[in-house]
Structure 1
Amino acid sequence: MNVLYPYVHAGGKRMILFSNRRALLEQQRRQTQGTDATCMICQKLEYDFNHGRKAIEWVERNFDYIIIDEAHYLFQDALFNRNTEIMLDMVEQLQESKVIVLMSATAGLLKKYFVGKIKKTYHVSADYSYIKTVYCYTTPDSVNKILNEVPLGEKVVMFGDNKKRLRTLHREYPDSEYLNSGNKDESLAFRQITQNECFSCQMLFTTKVLDNGVNLKDKAIKHIIIEQTDMVEFMQCLGRKRVQSPDDTITLYFLNSVFSIAGRYKDLKRDLVIVQQYLNARASGYEQGFWKINRTEYIPLMFDNSHHLVKPAYYKTLSDCAFYRDILNKKTSLVQ
């Protein structure tokens, strides 16, 4: 924003900045105060498009520079938000007539999908020297031992995907908050993070509502616990801590469960078999016959309610399946 916006403004151009999470949107709105840059959450454009408003045409008509922050969202959220395809279509439709900037610390799938179409790549090397120690645990109950040994004056952020378990941990530790997408509007920690980039409680138990884009600038955060097996989510959670000085270090703990990875891999393989059957039927002109046979069977999340194969969801599933296969075959590891 500090570099690009003055250039855009000096040239008499307009910029729109998309974000994928409410917390990130609020931080960006503060950063753009006093400018004519427009901030919008991706889901707002998707909603407008689905309700008959010419959302993509509106962007095309009003803006010259389209910035999508945390652009891995296009693929990362596609399995539970099939509308990310709208944003992906917008990028493909406007890439020749507009300047489109895709920003992400986890841009692997973006680069693969848009191979040959990206005109310029800017790379910032990751520096993980602030991670003092890394611990791996294999049973969820180990978290209590970790939390019980955290000294007073040091803070913890735990990213998990089991809401019931996070709520239980919140009840067990008085100086804590539990944060998810459903309670963020009433959460003191969420307001503090969006306004001041820090929180006052000692322990924050959160879902991936904070997994990308949000800054946590607090030297008291000394412990980060991550239980996501998805590599993009893992790296995004780790990146929430913004290092303030050379002595601003953390201890990282992560759950490494081969059983959950094996189960996820099995589910993805099953889903891809069904999708391949669909693709074969479509190529042979028997798409309707496929749905007639399978209408009461299990349908993978890669399809929307209209039996449309959502391309970013399919692309993400192919990538995840290959990644989990390599972990199980010991060709790669969860932490690379």
Structure 2
Amino acid sequence: MDKRISEIIKIDDIRQWNNNTVTITAGTGTGKSYFIKNILYAFAKKNNKKILMLIHRTNCVNQFQNEINKDKKIDVIDIHTYQKLEFKEIHKYKNLLDQYQYIVCDEFHYFLSDAAFNKTTDISLNLILSQNVTKIFMSATGDYIKQYLNRKKKIKTIDYSLPIKYKFENLVFFNYDTTLVELAKDAIKTSEKIIFFIQSAQKAYGLYLQFEKYSLFNCSRNNKQYFKKVDQEKVMDMLVKEKFEENILITTTCMDAGINLIDTDIKHIVCDVKDVGSLIQCIGRKRIKSLDDYVNIYIKTITNKQLGGIETQLNKKIEMADYLKENGIKNYILKYPRQNDYSNIIYDDPVEENNKCTKKINEMMYFKCKIDLLNINKMKQLGNFGYCKYLANIFGFYNNSQKYNYIILEEQKEKDILINYLENIKGTKLFSDERKELKKIFNKAGLKARTMGRHTLNGWLKDLGLPYTINHDIDKRRKLNNGNKNLNRGKRYWIVGKLIYKEE
């Protein structure tokens, strides 16, 4: 049985924290929240201390608040969102944090992952770090922000971790939006439950409209256009029961963390999400409860060409911030007169004295761009299908013989068409017209060679690992089986045979 957080953090550890910064890195289902709600709660209650639990998604707040209310632990634990903290700090409200001795930052990758679009994550982080209390940062994907704390902020952390194990049946990548529809149809046919995590609320709702009878839709309440389409009563029921009744759940990344879904009928999780950290969190929403429980993962591909485009955008995004870092405020203003930094990485900050302002860099947004650039470089170094290989490495779909065992769905379907065709024609003599048809099938299956001679086709079959070979000979028959004259006599033909591998 896998270890739990409560097994590696003891009461003696809690006693010795003494207002330090603690990090807990562990996968989903390892008892991080259980530790806070039970072990830390009991210690805090006994010592007359209070806990603030900070969460970044409203759905998580609702689920966690229900649990705290049910267990009657609101006397010690309060729950807020990071966004509420940021709002109150921007508008100079009274400090919310003064009354707490423990500040728990749940899913603390939030500070970095949401910095891609939220320009205030640095505000809550800096405010939390300024408090002279015990700060506990928990996440399955917090490695980069931990590096930021250690290296950039020079904060010495007390670290606890459990190895993260991913238990997936298959890792499948897909190229086209139309595949989303096909996967939904397949789930309906088999009556297996499927979850779609889609970054775009518009795309998510469009998919929902096609399968409304079978689906539950969810998105962030901040998305005013589409949140009114959400059946809030059903979503709340899902959070309480930790399962959904419908065949299909279609949601944005508003459910990418903190939510538990415990249901062996959920067999497929589909992610059309670009940010790797958020994608990993989405996949972790289903809890694997037994050895015979499994889930298939489907991820929208990002091609190397698309990676190059993202890389260009990121470099453009930090261009002004890089110049400010290297050349100072005066030269920055001379370089970019009367220009705003539309990436929001550079902002004006008031100086207390002399009624002046200065320009500063949002370190979280800047760091997020740098980390994304670093990861893109890693992906590109892996060669073709770098994004797929990068994720395959993370999820354990790479073996010691240096082979990746993920599937690209559309290619697999094309491969299946080729296999069926070869099975049907094996042993048949293929003359000129039949060879043309054979080459068309190879072309549809993905072979893009200028010439398609027999050696080229056999080489591709070998690369695909398909047990077929194409041989050649000359037709020497005088007559056909029906006694008619053989018009192909003396002509060269190809013939498909199947290889038989001997067991070692």
Match of 2:343 among 293, 300, 321: 300
Identity %: 22
Does the CA-based 8 Å contact 1:109-1:316 persist in structure 2? no
Does the CA-based 8 Å contact 1:229-1:334 persist in structure 2? no
**Corresponding residue number in structure 2 for 1:98:** 133
**Counterparts of 2:270 and 2:196 in 1: how far apart (Å)?**
4
**Corresponding residue number in structure 1 for 2:163:** 125
- Measured after TM superposition, the shift of residue 323 of structure 1 is 0.6
**Corresponding residue number in structure 2 for 1:288:** 333
**Counterparts of 1:92 and 1:70 in 2: how far apart (Å)?**
16
**Counterparts of 1:45 and 1:206 in 2: how far apart (Å)?**
26
SS at match of 1:120: strand
**Corresponding residue number in structure 2 for 1:279:** 325
**Which amino acid in structure 1 is aligned with residue 49 of structure 2?**
K
**Corresponding residue number in structure 2 for 1:249:** 294
Gap runs ≥5 in structure 1: none
- Measured after TM superposition, the shift of residue 199 of structure 1 is 1.4
**Which amino acid in structure 2 is aligned with residue 121 of structure 1?**
D
Q: Deviations over 1:90-140 (max 9, x none)?
A: 23212xx211000111011221111152431111222222x1112111222
- Measured after TM superposition, the shift of residue 43 of structure 1 is 1.1
Query: Does 1:265 pair with 2:292?
Result: no
**Counterparts of 2:148 and 2:258 in 1: how far apart (Å)?**
22
Does the CA-based 8 Å contact 1:160-1:206 persist in structure 2? yes
**Corresponding residue number in structure 2 for 1:43:** 83
**Which amino acid in structure 2 is aligned with residue 247 of structure 1?**
D
Match of 1:211 among 256, 260, 264: 256
**Corresponding residue number in structure 2 for 1:179:** 218
Does the CA-based 8 Å contact 2:215-2:247 persist in structure 1? yes
**Counterparts of 2:53 and 2:347 in 1: how far apart (Å)?**
27
**Corresponding residue number in structure 2 for 1:25:** 61
SS at match of 1:48: helix
- Measured after TM superposition, the shift of residue 168 of structure 1 is 2.1
Q: Which moved more, 1:318-327 or 1:303-312?
A: 303-312
Query: Does 1:196 pair with 2:236?
Result: no
**Counterparts of 1:200 and 1:263 in 2: how far apart (Å)?**
40
**Corresponding residue number in structure 2 for 1:6:** 42
**Counterparts of 1:179 and 1:79 in 2: how far apart (Å)?**
21
Alpha-carbon distance change, 206 to 303 in structure 1, aligned in 2, over 3 angstroms: farther
Does the CA-based 8 Å contact 1:278-1:290 persist in structure 2? no
**Counterparts of 2:346 and 2:115 in 1: how far apart (Å)?**
10
**Counterparts of 2:205 and 2:263 in 1: how far apart (Å)?**
24
**Counterparts of 1:257 and 1:75 in 2: how far apart (Å)?**
21
**Counterparts of 1:51 and 1:273 in 2: how far apart (Å)?**
30
**Corresponding residue number in structure 2 for 1:137:** 174
Query: Does 1:159 pair with 2:197?
Result: yes
**Counterparts of 1:49 and 1:91 in 2: how far apart (Å)?**
11
**Corresponding residue number in structure 1 for 2:125:** 88
TM-score normalised by length of structure 1: 0.90
**Corresponding residue number in structure 1 for 2:115:** 78
Instruction: Report the RMSD for the aligned CA atoms in angstroms.
Output: 2.1
- Measured after TM superposition, the shift of residue 319 of structure 1 is 0.2
Look at both structures and tell me which one has the larger radius of gyration over its CA atoms: 2
- Measured after TM superposition, the shift of residue 291 of structure 1 is 4.4
Q: Which moved more, 1:101-110 or 1:171-180?
A: 171-180
**Corresponding residue number in structure 2 for 1:111:** 146
Gap runs ≥5 in structure 2: 1-36, 350-358, 384-388, 395-504
Q: Deviations over 1:177-236 (max 9, x none)?
A: 222113176434421232222212111111101011111112211100012221101110
Matched residues, number: 327
- Measured after TM superposition, the shift of residue 321 of structure 1 is 1.0
